[in-house]
Amino acid sequence: MPADFNWAIGGEAGDGIDSTGKIFAQALSRAGRHVFTSKDFASRIRGGYTAYKVRTSTEKVRSVVDRLDVLVALTPRTIEENLDELHEGSVIIYDGERTTMADVEIPEEMIGLDVPLKSLAEDAGGAIMRNVVALGAACEATSFDIEHLDSSLKKRFGDKGSALVENNKQAARLGQEYVQEHYPDADLDYDLETTDNDYVLLNGDEAIGMGAIAAGCKYYAGYPITPATDVMTYLKGRIENFGGHVVQAEDELAAINLALGAARAGARSMTATSGPGIDLMTETFGLVATSETPLVIADVMRSGPSTGMPTKQEQGDLNMMLYGGHGEIPRFVLAPTTVDECFWKTVEAFNLAEKYQTPVYLAADLAMAVTEQTFEPDAFDMDAVEIDRGKVVDEETIEDHQTESGGFKPHEITDDGVSPRAFPGTEGGAHMSTGLEHDEQGRRTEDTEMRVKQVDKRNRKVETAREREDFSPREFGDPDADNLIVTWGSNEGTLVEALEYLEADSVDVRILSVPYLFPRPDLTEEFEAADQVVVVECNATGQFADVVEHDTLQRVKRINKYDGVQFKADELADDIRETLAADESQEVEA
Amino acid sequence: MSSQVRFTDFKSDKQPTWCPGCGDFGTMNGMMKALAETGNDPDNTFVVAGIGCSGKIGTYMHSYAIHGVHGRALPVGAGVKMANPDLEVMVAGGDGDGYSIGAGHFVHAVRRNVDMSYVVMDNRIYGLTKGQASPTSREDFETSTTPEGPQQPPVNPLALALASGATFIAQSFSSDALRHQEIVQKAIEHDGFGFVNVFSPCVTFNDVDTYDYFRDSLVDLQETDYDPTDRDAAKEKVLDADKEYMGVLYQDEESVPYEDTHGLDSNMSQIDHEGAPEGAMDLVREFY
């Protein structure tokens, strides 16, 4: 287990929690420390409890844990909410002069640093810098060189002028000095060492947006929805530099139809939304598939059903992505497992979409989308990006795909199921596309033979992909272990850390993390070789467990979490230990 | 090929299954002639069709085309045009498609002002589902689903367009072939969203809004001293409860289309790099 350090700032939404947390996370990252952040937020703009948590270590950190070492508490509720994560010796930084904090009692075994955040901020030039004073105090409490904070402040406020940056630096120093002066004897047993490593710090939504630009995506249409909005926010203002465009549509129906139009015009095109938006897009999803239009749709999942818990984690949309839509529709469903995989799976999604002329779902989730993590910049090596546009025909090759009378065949029956594609403007390529069943030229038909041929052709693309692509799972742990843990999506990092707890306890497990949900790897052999198989996922009914049971004709055990919070490594290790130890008969009774 | 394009080049080899006498024949002919007359050919034209009798138009025409889902043709057309401004984009739909299920998109398409034309074949009835009230049906029009009439006022598409900030509003009549063609041509030539409501009678289910009715009642604005650039005059005309008009009701000659305001001038289908675009590593450095 890495010698990690856990810090958080909490208060009311609107208190600047997010930006303060990010400034500290960036400072740590710039000091060569690994960072993993998480957010606890409510679906409101002001008020309500919200927190930004930072876990940091000199080694890679992949998940959240159940421990808090330093807490900046702007409200009494911040202390209450985190009481079970605070421990003996935890430091709580608060402003006793704040009316609501006047009566706050710091638990005896913890260290309270009462710092007049607001008045020190005013001394530095404005009460608004209150949180930065707290950051300075946190630096002192953790022996973290305040100069790292300076560069983070410069990044944050540099655009607004050097005076503002200087004021903020000053605010941080007043916080630092106050702790030095008033708590010289406090036993602050923390030491955040720095390294020379260069890291980048970003979240899953940003990585999806960056992957889209890298893949040559030129068109994005979307409608704001938590937690997918950051994809659009990222692309807006950046994709234009690469010849692209972002449209904020009037609703999700328009968003997917705008994206479909751009894709028909030949652009690499995408939309991103969350579950409720996927519901609205599902009708057009059928048209995308039937007209064989390449399109990438990211579903950044949150708690459902209906409006559910918009700011909480869940992986409840798997069945919808696998089966959503009337009729039978070939598709790809890819699930990135880490923030950097959000980048690579997005690149791959565009290639698969164009090579097979199908819609591709990118199954991300809130825990990954809003979680920032540090990476070596090489994790996003742009030189390794490849673009494959599939069977695009031009004026020279188009003749091979025309009828005797010169009609183009966009739905030509081929052995691999993939037809030629002509971008509008290509001479001799004019053709109709439709959601109606159609012939090779895209013209409506109810001919029984052609219907069967077209359905088979579309489904054949899936078989072709199985032959040509590598849909292997990612593997961790002991390859010879008797116990197999299977998961998908953002749980991978937590599982990999849970593995360290299990190993320390001599529990050997093998982990398979599955990033391809359709088409997906055949796990029959792995399941048969294992004594016990446990499927870990963030939903109540075990949607992926059902799917693999169906695939392998073998029962699995399940660990499901659906309280709105992502797995924590130490908790998950306990769950796995218990599940593996549970007697089969007891489990049936339970 | 554009120098010798004839309107018949826009015809597909599929025979329309519209009822004999349907207004949609004339509507479509006028659209094809207007496209040819404005110098387009099937390979640079993209037609987006909705659902219903009108939606069949994409099948009977020859061009790049897509037959969308019900009510969503306008965003598809906008996406096509934004991704490749070199294409001539024409969206066709019916009164149900455009003013009922797609009413939200209509308002926003008008606001967005993408340089494309939108032809609504308005027969004031649902034809393909065999005769139910449409959003433009008269208040007392008796149908299978509204035996006493809808008992609510019809949607006024022209007023809706004007209120939403339309830069081009026109109305035509499918059987007045020459005027219909001219009006659609003006919509194509307009720099922005060219909206044309076409009275396209349903001879099977609508015995009120007939060819005779429109022939006798429509006032052709071309035969008056009407000034289509005068927005106040347009307000009066589109809200006139006593008369219905043919011709261009409003045109903002200063209209700047979406592509211009948003700097869209490239064909996005082209990707000139085999890997990530040049400068992509800057995107990573930003996260230091």
B68-102 per-position pLDDT tens digit? 999 999 999 999 999 999 999 999 999 999 999 99
What is the rounded CA–CA span in Å between residue A232 and residue A273? 10
Chain A nearest C-alpha distance from B56 (Å): 10
Indicate yes or no: CB of A444 within 8 angstroms of CB of B59. yes
| Cβ-Cβ contacts under 8 Å, A238 against chain B | 283
Residue A590, burial from CB neighbour count under 10 angstroms (0-12, 13-18, 19+): exposed
Q: Specify the 3-state DSSP secondary structure of A364.
A: strand
Picking from B206, B183, B213, the residue whose alpha carbon sits closest to that of residue B125 is B206
Distance CA A227, CA A205 (A): 8
Mean pLDDT computed over B263-284: 96
Q: Which residues contact A130 (CB under 8 A, 6 or more apart)?
A: A95, A117, A118, A121
From residue B79, give the alpha-carbon distance in Å to each of A128, A248, A301, A352, B104.
43, 12, 26, 21, 16
Which residues are CB-contacts of A140 (< 8 A; sequence separation ≥ 6)?
A: A146, A175, A176, A179, A180, A188
List the pLDDT tens digit at each of the 590 positions of chain A. Answer: 347 999 999 999 888 999 999 999 999 999 999 999 998 887 776 778 899 999 999 999 999 888 999 999 999 999 999 999 999 999 999 999 999 998 889 999 999 999 999 999 999 999 999 999 999 999 999 999 999 999 999 999 999 999 999 999 999 999 999 999 999 887 787 889 999 999 999 999 999 999 999 999 999 999 999 999 999 999 999 999 999 999 999 999 999 999 999 999 999 999 999 999 999 999 999 999 999 999 999 999 999 999 999 999 999 999 999 999 999 999 999 999 999 999 999 999 999 999 999 999 999 999 999 999 999 999 999 999 999 999 999 999 999 999 998 899 999 999 999 999 999 999 999 999 999 999 999 999 999 999 999 999 999 999 999 999 999 999 999 999 999 999 999 999 999 999 999 999 999 999 999 999 999 999 999 999 999 999 999 999 999 999 999 999 999 999 999 999 999 999 999 999 999 998 765 554 44
- Asked if A430 and B43 come within 8 Å (Cβ–Cβ), the reply is yes
- Kindly report the backbone phi and psi dihedral angles of residue A289, in degrees, each rounded to the nearest multiple of 5, phi listed first: -70, -45
Which residues, 6 or more positions from B161, have their beta carbon under 8 angstroms from its beta carbon? B106, B110, B169, B195, B238
Q: State the residue for tokens 């420390």.
A: A33
Q: What is the pLDDT of residue A25?
A: 97
B1 and A CB contact within 8 Å: yes
Tell me the shortest Cα–Cα distance from B143 to chain A, in angstroms.
28
Apex A531 CA angle, A530 and A537, nearest 5: 75
Nearest in space to A205 (alpha carbons), one of A227, A186, A220: A227
According to DSSP, the β-strands at B117-122 and B64-67 are unpaired
Token look-up 């030129």 returns A218
Choose among B59, B284, B285: nearest Cβ to A432. Answer: B59
- Nearest CA among B76, B74, B140 for reference residue B108: B74
Per-residue pLDDT at A590: 42
CB contact under 8 A, B268 and A202: no
Judge whether residue B278 has pLDDT over 90: yes
Q: How confident is residue B4, by pLDDT bands cut at 50, 70 and 90? A: confident
What pLDDT does A2 receive?
A: 41
Cα dihedral sign, A423-A424-A429-A431: positive
Which band of pLDDT confidence, cut at 50, 70 and 90, is reported for residue B3? low
Q: Which residues of A touch B66 (CB under 8 A)?
A: 260-261, 264, 291, 432-434
Question: Taking CA atoms, what residue in B is nearest to A392?
Answer: B269
Q: Which residues of A touch B76 (CB under 8 A)?
A: 257-258, 260-261, 264
pLDDT of res. A522: 96
Q: Is A280 on the interface with B (CB under 8 A)?
A: no
Q: What is the pLDDT of residues B221-271, one digit of tens each?
A: 999 999 999 999 999 999 999 999 999 999 999 999 999 999 999 999 999
Q: Residue A145 in contact with residue A139, Cβ under 8 Å? A: yes
Q: How far is CA A458 from CA A284, A443, A517, A535, A567, in A?
A: 17, 16, 18, 31, 38
- Residue A290 sits at the chain B interface (C-beta within 8 Å): no
Residue type at A319 in one-letter notation: N
Residue B188 in 3-state DSSP?
Answer: helix
Most B CBs within 10 Å, among A199, A258, A408, to test the B interface? A258
CB A473 within 8 A of CB A515: yes
Residues of A in contact with B68 (CB under 8 A): 257, 260, 284, 287, 435
Q: What is the C-alpha to C-alpha distance for residues A224 and A228, in angstroms, rounded to an integer?
A: 7
Task: Count A/B contacts: CB-CB distance under 8 Å.
Answer: 221
Residue from the list B65, B78, B280 with its beta carbon closest to the beta carbon of A432: B65
Residues paired with residue A307 on neighbouring β-strands, in sequence order: none
Are the Cβ atoms of B84 and A267 closer than 8 angstroms? yes
Which residues on adjacent β-strands are paired with residue B73? none
Instruction: Look at residue A144 in the predicted model and tell me its pLDDT.
Output: 94
Tell me the ipTM for this assembly: 0.97
pLDDT digits (tens, 9 = 90+) for B126-184: 999 999 999 999 999 999 999 999 999 999 999 999 999 999 999 999 999 999 999 99
Task: Quote the DSSP letter at residue A12.
Answer: E
Residue contact A405–B78, C-beta within 8 A:
no
Could you give the CA distance from residue A303 to residue A260 in angstroms, rounded to a whole number? 27
The partner residue sitting opposite A251, judged by closest CB among B68, B104, B288, is B104
**Which letter does DSSP use for residue A188 in this model?**
-
pLDDT in tens, B102-120: 999 999 999 999 999 999 9
Q: Tokens at residue B234, please?
A: 């347009």
Q: Is the dihedral of CA A291, A292, A294, A296 positive or negative?
A: positive
The answer to whether B275 touches B193, Cβ cutoff 8 Å, is no
